Amino acid sequence: GDSVTQTEGLVTLTEGLPVMLNCTYQSTYSPFLFWYVQHLNEAPKLLLKSFTDNKRPEHQGFHATLHKSSSSFHLQKSSAQLSDSALYYCALSDHPSSSFSKLVFGQGTSLSVVP
Amino acid sequence: EAAVTQSPRSKVAVTGGKVTLSCHQTNNHDYMYWYRQDTGHGLRLIHYSYVADSTEKGDIPDGYKASRPSQENFSLILELASLSQTAVYFCASTGQGGNERLFFGHGTKLSVL
């Protein structure tokens, strides 16, 4: 079945350094990929969604590029901020051509940005 | 901003007892989902629904039932709560299925003792 792998459980960075969180996937289809972010004691919310036309989505300084050849959708930011500390989930839609599709989530990566 | 409200926000239950978690959305969304969050496992889908009076099994449905009595309400029922069901539970909704943005509730922290 479809799956999403986030290899890092915890990433600790110094403020100002670049961020890269890894996400790889396996899917029968050519899926939509998503990044959701969950700050402490808050609900998960959408950060980014892949485009069908290979454009690179960007939001709040974060961006991610869908590489179908390597089945990856890594999340990047040029300079980490303390407020970026949160739990990040990568997810894919299991039937992208259907409205009955469901999201499959990875294990999550906890990002901790320190001064 | 779409609103999804879960109740209760936290609950302590005894092993073998019945637990009902409730979810209410006011966004006119057809699709609703129940996820379980555990460290190291991420968010796993328990049950979901596309329309009122119908529910579907997700990836980890064992030990859980779901009920969708109306478009706005979606409940998760643990008939015989077990220690292994201690987790944080999230409800979510969307208007266009899994290809579009999910709106999550704030979660219910369930502790089974």
Tens of pLDDT, residues A56-81: 777 889 999 888 889 999 999 999 99
Contact A46/B102, CB-based, under 8 Å?
yes
Q: Which residues are CB-neighbours of A33 under 8 A, at least 6 positions away?
A: A23, A25, A49, A50, A64, A66, A73, A90, A91, A92
Confidence of residue B70 (pLDDT cuts 50, 70, 90): very high
Is the pLDDT assigned to residue A7 strictly greater than 70? yes
Confidence of residue A38 (pLDDT cuts 50, 70, 90): very high
Average pLDDT over residues A84-90: 97
Residues of chain B neighbouring A108 (CB-CB closer than 8 A): 42-43
Please tell me the distance from the alpha carbon of residue A43 to that of residue A45, in angstroms, as a whole number.
Answer: 6
Strands (E), chain B: 4-7, 10-13, 19-25, 31-38, 42-51, 54-57, 65-67, 73-78, 87-94, 103-104, 108-112
Mean pLDDT over all residues of chain A? 91
Q: What are phi and psi of A82, to 5 degrees?
A: -55, -35
Q: Are A100 and B94 in contact (CB under 8 A)?
A: no
Q: Which residues between 4 and 43 in chain A have a beta carbon less than 8 angstroms from any beta carbon of chain B?
A: 6, 9, 32, 36, 42-43
Report the gap between the CA of B104 and the closest CA in chain A (Å): 6
Q: Are A102 and A87 in contact (CB under 8 A)?
A: no
In this prediction, residue B98 carries a pLDDT of 67
Nearest CB among A49, A98, A108 relative to B97 is that of A98
Average pLDDT over residues A5-29: 95
Q: Are A48 and A74 in contact (CB under 8 A)?
A: no
Contact B97/A49, CB-based, under 8 Å?
no
Q: Which of B42, B75, B90, B19 is nearest to A42 (CA)?
A: B90
Residues of chain B neighbouring A49 (CB-CB closer than 8 A): 101
Q: What are phi and psi of B103, to 5 degrees?
A: -110, 120
Residues of chain A neighbouring B105 (CB-CB closer than 8 A): 43
Q: For residue range B13-43, what is the model confidence (pLDDT) as tens digits? A: 999 999 999 999 999 999 999 999 998 788 9
How many CB pairs below 8 A link A and B? 59
Residues of chain A neighbouring B1 (CB-CB closer than 8 A): none
